[in-house]
């Protein structure tokens, strides 16, 4: 059985569905602070609770034979992390330490970690590969890098096999439109644009148009949530296949294509067939100007390749927003 923490969240819920499709038994823990019970695939066992609750973990590890843990439960908003850093160190670092301690106790050896491109900070080159130095500029990125550091030390001392996946900007929704992105408050670019184009807000804010990028707005690399999920399944199968071998790997997961905020507004307008009102705002604290992945390592080692381009990613997000104008509620 695979334990998925945060399996009621946006990314976790997509991975749970894909795991179940591939015949894995899945157990989800989620405290439902930001996740949605409606998003959890009915084939999974669901337990409501905190990943850092030792009693709950003990009960789970005693009752079920857990082969591997996929750890999605986390706080993951760059802007919020600048305003409330301790929340990030508590939820992303302290809770993960507790989870890893219990895994050690029960000899659970396989771990897949949701990391982030925010670990890189402001790289001095336009395409980011895994060997570049990590200098995160916000508490979110710092908290994720701390966990990567812990995993590395723990792997040396305790034979933990892990793969940390550094996500670039995750977007889109399940192809059927049954599950998708629903945050409250919503802070991410694509849902904010699409909700605006649905008439739910008077304008879309652009946080900074004076960056050193071709059109002055920030550039990000957007990856479809289904492609991201496929990366997790490949990572899991790699760990399970190479049981006897030590695995301690970090892979970027991105599409290798940078899209600026202005370009994204334009693409969303094309998909939705509507025109956006934009309002230029000051820069948002903690935002690097440009983050674009090299995903050569995961392509080479795990054979991963993205199937969605940016337009089809937006189309699936638009489909979700149209089917669920008020999210899961």
Q: Give, in order, the Cα–Cα distances in Å from 14 to each of 25, 70, 164, 170, 279.
A: 15, 12, 18, 12, 33
Judging by beta carbons within 10 Å of its beta carbon (0-12, 13-18, 19+), is residue 312 exposed, middle or buried? middle
- Is residue 87 near ligand UDP by the rule CB under 6 A? no
CB of 227 to ligand UDP, least distance (A): 17
Would residue 140 show up in a list of annotated catalytic residues for this protein?
yes
Taking each continuous run of H as one helix and of E as one strand, the counts in the chain are: 11, 14
**Are the C-beta atoms of 19 and 26 separated by less than 8 Å?**
yes
Q: Quick check: 259 binds ligand UDP (CB under 6 A)?
A: no
Catalytic residue among 140, 162, 167, 222: 140
Across 80-203, where does the E strand assignment appear? Answer: 110-116, 127-128, 161-167, 169-171
Binder to ligand UDP among 17, 220, 224, 324 (CB under 6 A)?
220
Site track 66-85 with ligand UDP (rule: CB under 6 A), x = hit: ------------x-------
Query: CA-CA distance, 52 to 112, in Å (whole number)?
Result: 16
The Cα 51–Cα 92 span in angstroms is 10
Backbone angles phi and psi of 252, in degrees to 5: -75, 150
Residue 237 binds ligand UDP (CB under 6 A) = no
**Least distance between ligand UDP and beta carbon 172 (Å):** 13
Q: Nearer Cβ to ligand UDP, position 153 or 187? A: 187
Among positions 169, 226, 294, 316, the unique one binding ligand UDP when judged by CB under 6 A: 169
Our finding on whether 187 is near ligand UDP (CB under 6 A) is yes
CA distance 126 to 141: 18
Instruction: Note whether 175 binds ligand UDP by CB under 6 A.
Output: no
Is there binding between residue 257 and ligand UDP (CB under 6 A)? no
Least gap, CB of 261 to ligand UDP (angstroms): 4
The number of residues that bind ligand UDP (CB under 6 A) is: 15
Tokens of residue 56, six digits: 């709950």
- Nearest residue (CB) to ligand UDP, 30 versus 287: 287
Q: Is the peptide bond before 72 cis (omega within 30 degrees of 0)?
A: no
User: Which is nearer to ligand UDP, 218 or 253 (by Cβ)?
Assistant: 218
Cβ contact 199:329 at 8 Å:
no
From candidates 11, 60, 147, 206, binder to ligand UDP by CB under 6 A = 206
Strands 127-128 and 258-260: unpaired
Q: Judged by CB under 6 A, does residue 234 bind ligand UDP?
A: no
Q: Which is nearer to ligand UDP, 160 or 314 (CB)?
A: 314
Interface of this chain with ligand UDP, residues 275 to 294, rule: CB under 6 A:
284, 287
Smallest CA-to-CA distance from 54 within 92, 91, 100 is with 100
218 interacts with ligand UDP by CB under 6 A:
yes
Stretch that binds ligand UDP, among 14-22, 35-43, 182-190, 246-254 (CB under 6 A): 182-190
Q: Which residues are catalytic?
A: 140
Write out the residues near ligand UDP by the rule CB under 6 A.
78, 169, 187-189, 192, 204-207, 218, 220, 261, 284, 287
């Amino acid at each position: 059985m695979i334990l998925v923490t945060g399996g009621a969240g946006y990314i976790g819920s997509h991975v749970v569905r894909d795991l179940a499709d591939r015949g894995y038994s899945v157990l989800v823990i989620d405290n439902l602070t930001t996740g949605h019970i409606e998003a959890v695939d009915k084939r999974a066992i669901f337990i409501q609770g905190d990943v850092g609750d030792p009693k709950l973990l003990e009960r789970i590890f005693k009752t079920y034979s857990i082969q591997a843990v996929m750890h999605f439960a986390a706080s993951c908003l760059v802007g919020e992390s600048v305003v409330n850093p301790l929340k990030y160190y508590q939820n992303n670092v302290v809770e993960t330490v507790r989870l890893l301690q219990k895994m050690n106790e029960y000899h659970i050896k396989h771990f897949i970690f949701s990391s982030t491109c925010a670990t890189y900070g402001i790289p001095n080159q336009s395409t980011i590969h895994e060997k570049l130095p990590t200098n995160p500029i916000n508490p979110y990125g710092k908290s994720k890098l701390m966990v990567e550091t812990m995993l590395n030390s723990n792997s040396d001392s305790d034979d933990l096999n892990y793969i940390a996946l550094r996500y670039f900007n995750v977007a889109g929704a399940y192809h059927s439109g049954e599950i998708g992105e629903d945050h409250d408050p919503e802070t991410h670019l694509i849902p904010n644009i699409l909700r605006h184009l649905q008439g739910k807000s008077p304008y879309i804010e652009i946080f900074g148009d004076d960056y050193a990028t071709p059109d002055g707005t920030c550039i990000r690399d957007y990856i479809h949530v289904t492609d991201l999920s496929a990366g997790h399944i490949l990572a899991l199968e790699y760990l399970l296949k190479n049981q006897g071998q030590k695995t301690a790997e970090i892979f970027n997961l991105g599409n290798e294509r940078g899209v600026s905020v202005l370009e994204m507004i334009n693409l969303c307008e094309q998909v939705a067939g509507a025109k956006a009102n934009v309002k230029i705002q000051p820069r948002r604290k903690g935002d690097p100007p440009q983050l674009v992945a090299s995903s050569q390592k995961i392509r080479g080692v795990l054979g991963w390749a993205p199937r969605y381009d940016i337009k089809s990613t937006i189309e699936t997000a638009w489909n979700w927003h149209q089917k669920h104008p008020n999210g899961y509620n």
